[in-house]
Amino acid sequence: MKHTLLSVLFAATLYSVIAQRANPDVIQTNAGPLTIQPVMHASLVLSIKGLTIYADPSGATSNFKGLAAPDMIIITDIHGDHFDIKAMDSLKTPNTILVVPQVVADKLPDADKAHVVVLKNGDNTAQNGISITALPMYNLPESPTAMHTKGRGNGYVLGIGGKLIYLSGDTQGIPEMRALKNIDVAFVCMNLPFTMDVPEAADAVLAFKPKIVYPYHYRGRGGLSDVNAFKTLVNAGDKNIDVRLRNWYPTM
């Protein structure tokens, strides 16, 4: 009886987690459908043809219940909402590839070193058929005391099935973002005082014109950024950009 009750409670908890998670989106690529699953804040999951990529998994591992284990984990920076070693350890498998900047690699245990790919800004790699380019992510004006200094963390462009996916990480509307070309899907942060405000994020997006953009990582010290205002600003400048508003902060 006790085991039956525990099973029922676990199933109810799992259903609650999945029910509150934003629905996944699917886009077509040359390699088949790519599933985009928003999870929480900066965390998301990309899946294609049996390959699963976690970006910045952090927080409660229950946020990832029901999702396939990661073949690859991509980390942008050292801060806890991006690099959560407890969450990562509970989610990864012995064969999970970790793609990280040096500052994160320095914090990893020796047991992970055989599966670590370290990239600095400007580096490229190919893993499991996915091309990965590391880009700068930093605050403006540049300063040694900034919360995000140039060269420490990475934004990324992933090449998946002929599509280019941009993960901004923690950044402002830097020249390297504004100069991007042919981005199919972009995940762009906006939270003060850590990254940038809504008008700056919208202006940067209008500079590089991704086909689809998800505002994510939009909780700051003052609460949640106004993503509806972001959508209005972007579409006032270019109605052809598909601004996708999803719930990155489900209540658990």
Q: What is the pLDDT of residue 145?
A: 86
Cis bond upstream, residue 193 (ω within 30): yes
Domain residue spans in the chain?
2-243
CATH superfamily label, 2-243? Ribonuclease Z/Hydroxyacylglutathione hydrolase-like (3.60.15.10)
Q: What is the pLDDT of residue 11?
A: 35
What pairs with residue 203 in β-bridges?
Answer: none
Q: What is the pLDDT of residue 20?
A: 81
Q: What is the pLDDT of residue 12?
A: 36
Q: Where do we find the tokens 């997006």?
A: 205
Q: What is the pLDDT of residue 9?
A: 30
Confidence of residue 251 (pLDDT cuts 50, 70, 90): confident
Longest dimension (CA), the chain: 62
Are 178 and 202 within 8 A, CB to CB? no
Choice between 72 and 15, residue whose per-residue pLDDT is larger: 72
Residue 157: φ, ψ to 5°: -115, 120
* Distances in whole angstroms, Cα of residue 250 to Cα of each of 20, 66, 115, 171: 6, 16, 32, 24
The set of residues, in sequence order, having a beta carbon less than 8 Å from that of 104 and lying 6+ positions away, is: 75, 77, 78, 83
What pairs with residue 81 in β-bridges?
Answer: none
7 pLDDT exceeds 70? no
Q: What is the pLDDT of residue 5?
A: 36
Cis bond upstream, residue 141 (ω within 30): yes
Confidence of residue 18 (pLDDT cuts 50, 70, 90): low
Q: What is the pLDDT of residue 250?
A: 87
Mean pLDDT of the chain: 92
Residue 108: φ, ψ to 5°: -85, 145
